[in-house]
Amino acid sequence: MPAPGVLMGAVAYDPKVVTIWEGFRAWLRGRGLDFDFVLYSHYERQVEDLVAGRIDAAWNSPLAWLRAERLAVATGTSVRALTMRDTDQDLTSVVVVRADSPVRTTADLAGMTVAVGAVDSPQATLIPLGHLAAAGVAVDVRRFDVGVGLHGDHIGGERDAARALTAGEVGAACMIDANHLAFVREGTLPPDGTRIIAQTTPYDHCNMTVREPESAGVRLFGTLLLGMSYADPQVRPLLDLEGLTAWKDGRTTGYDALAGAVDATGFYSPDGRVTASDYRP
């Protein structure tokens, strides 16, 4: 009897993606799963191929998850979040100002220019701007469209927004909280040179999306991912590259803020069509 198989899609936002999934492929095949992967240049085609059944699983951004869910409902299919990283849960984005800024409250940002990441970045654009809009604060937006189609996986736009803040070109900048710390460590932002003026409610990030009903291969895939141990010397370097210490069961309770931003901006239609007027991955 042939081994159960899975074909997974991943977006090639960085060369390390090949290293990660080639390593995982060897580990998974060594445990009885006929696993392979295909790479995409952007998430929109990956989502369409998953829902159409051309791949069995997709390592999806949170924005890609929302589109997959909507497109599946519209086409009479079903998807679910199989697994996610421990580091995908309970994240926040921040709105940052320079330490010498006169801004003291979120309301003080009204009318100011705020730098954000790419048009499709959940953490550096959609969620923090939705947070400001919910607070009734209208701002002028300066967007840095780097890696459009990668859904914020390429943080170049986020870093450019931080640089614009440091240069005094904007009054504030949006970024995920972990990158705020990383930008200070790498020198993009000066130590003690910024203040957090607003922070979003917690949200979740990526998940491994699969079609339902699940095949035997997909079920084994989930079991093997959840069984990966950070103590395993074969997979630990791969887990480090992928930014996790353990796989967790997938959940979908942490996407409400992004879904609200998607609806408010018309990024996707309710049936999963790409409707953002200025988004071309």
**Domain match, 105 and 81 both:** no
List CB contacts of 231: < 8 A, sequence separation 6 or more: none
**Domain match, 209 and 76 both:** yes
Range of the domain at 153: 93-199
The position carrying tokens 């996407």 is 255
Interior/surface letters 222-249, b for 16+ CB within 10 angstroms, e for the rest: bebbeebeeeeeebeebbeebebeebbe
Find residue 114's DSSP bridge partners: 141, 172
pTM of the model: 0.96
**Domain match, 191 and 97 both:** yes
Provide the domain count of the chain. Answer: 2
Per-residue pLDDT tens digits of the chain, which is 281 residues long:
677 899 999 999 999 999 999 999 999 999 999 999 999 999 999 999 999 999 999 999 999 999 999 999 999 999 999 999 999 999 999 999 999 999 999 999 999 999 999 999 999 999 999 999 999 999 999 999 999 999 999 999 999 999 999 999 999 999 999 999 999 999 999 999 999 999 999 999 999 999 999 999 999 999 999 999 999 999 999 999 999 999 999 999 999 999 999 999 999 999 999 999 889 99
